[in-house]
Amino acid sequence: MAAKAFWPVAIALILAAIGLTQLLANEYYFFAAYVVLQFVVLATAWNILGGYTGYVNFGSAAFFAVGAYCSVALIKAFDAPLPVLILAAGAVSGLIGLATGYLTLRLKGVYFAIATLALAIVLETFITNWDFVGGASGTFVLRPKEVWLFDSYIKFLFAVMMVLAVAAVGIARSIERSKLGRGLAAIRDDEVAAECMGVPTLRLKLLATTISGTLMGVAGAPYPYYVTYLDPLSAFNLSYAVNAIAMPMIGGTMTWLGPVVGALLLGTAQQVATVTISSELNLLIVGVMLVGFVILAPEGIVGLVRKTIRRGRRR
């Protein structure tokens, strides 16, 4: 995409999404599209640490769930409005991202992945034992009865998630093209060489875990209103972690476009399969596609398309 076209297209997408909510009556489409957009945010957030920096986070579900439970706590305590929930969830998840970074970034490769998975289990245990937010049995969350401009709350949430998705992708894209992005790429390629070339590797890695954690928490913030009943098992579900990894891998981890393509493709496929075949089939689809892509197109769809274009030009 041409550099200047990004933001006009992004704003057009948001306006189109709001327009659709006024035209289309069937709530189901927005109910399904919300999940797809939520995965756009999660996959994009994962890719900032996993794709740009080269650190595989297996604990995405934990950051997402922390965002969701942060909302639950604020709704129960203050009946806080949605924008406040989103900001607070982002802040808390970002702080946890920073702390995780401090504790684990001396680990590399598979050890880092295991540490993030362990973090997810620790946080899940904590939430399961916190009665104020419902503990193990979960909790009901009542949606506000009315919302300005929208005739249903699901449509409103869909529009909100559209804004969040566009914002997340915009942030990832700016990082990719910045000095920060080039520093992160240097870390991914060779951390020792990066440090010796003047890149403050620890600081940049902490920035990456913080930004990534923040965006994941933001994705989880509206979730309690979406499901209206939240329990630790579903909020910390491993499928979030698996999807957050699989989507960028399938789309391509080197650019902001990869996670978007992967999330749209895989997210939509799962939504369609849930309705047409079975709701248990989701992870199977993810698994099969992931294996296929890792073998056939290790650089993802975006990498594959680029390679094809380059080959075409040479002829």
Partner 1 sequence: MNPPLLQIQDMTKRFGGFTALDQVTIEIARGARFGLIGPNGSGKTTLINCVSGVLAPDGGTIRFDGTDITTLKAHRRTRLGIARGFQIPKPFASMTVRENLAVPLEYAAGARIGPGIEDEVGEILAMVGLEEKAEANAAGLTQIEMRKLELARALAAKPVLLISDEAMAGLSSTEVDDILAILLILNERGITVIMIEHIMRAVMRFSERIAVLDAGRKIAEGTPEEILRDAGVERAYLGE
| Residues forming the site for partner 1 (CB under 8 A) | 179, 182-183, 185-186, 188-190, 192-202, 254
Give whichever of 169 and 254 is closer to partner 1, judged by the CB atom.
Answer: 254
DSSP letter string, 131-191:
GGGTGGG-EE-PPPS-BTTBSSHHHHHHHHHHHHHHHHHHHHHHHHTSHHHHHHHHHHH-H
The one-letter amino acid at 248: P
From CA 36, how far away is CA 86, in angstroms rounded?
A: 18
Phi/psi for 35 (5° steps) reads: -65, -40
Q: Tokens 């203050």 identify what position?
A: 78
Give whichever of 183 and 224 is closer to partner 1, judged by the CB atom.
Answer: 183
Kindly tell me the sign of the dihedral angle through the C-alpha atoms of 87, 146, 164, 15: negative
CB of 282 to partner 1, least distance (A): 32
Give whichever of 197 and 277 is closer to partner 1, judged by the CB atom.
Answer: 197
CB of 77 to partner 1, least distance (A): 42
Give whichever of 72 and 172 is closer to partner 1, judged by the CB atom.
Answer: 172
* Distances in whole angstroms, Cα of residue 181 to Cα of each of 185, 188, 190, 255: 6, 11, 14, 10
Q: Provide the 8-state DSSP code for 253.
A: S
CB of 52 to partner 1, least distance (A): 10
Give whichever of 33 and 184 is closer to partner 1, judged by the CB atom.
Answer: 184
Give the number of other CB atoms < 10 A from CB of residue 279.
9
Give whichever of 200 and 287 is closer to partner 1, judged by the CB atom.
Answer: 200
Give the number of other CB atoms < 10 A from CB of residue 237.
16
Q: Tokens 């998840």 identify what position?
A: 93
From CA 42, how far away is CA 213, in angstroms rounded?
A: 9
Q: How many residues does the chain have?
A: 315
CB of 211 to partner 1, least distance (A): 19
CB of 40 to partner 1, least distance (A): 24
Give whichever of 38 and 47 is closer to partner 1, judged by the CB atom.
Answer: 47
| Phi-psi group of 134: left, alpha or beta (phi > 0 → left; psi -120 to 50 → alpha; rest → beta) | left
CB of 310 to partner 1, least distance (A): 11
Q: Tokens 């916190």 identify what position?
A: 130
CB of 176 to partner 1, least distance (A): 12
Give whichever of 195 and 231 is closer to partner 1, judged by the CB atom.
Answer: 195
Give whichever of 183 and 251 is closer to partner 1, judged by the CB atom.
Answer: 183
CB of 223 to partner 1, least distance (A): 34
CB of 41 to partner 1, least distance (A): 25
From CA 229, how far away is CA 156, in angstroms rounded?
A: 18
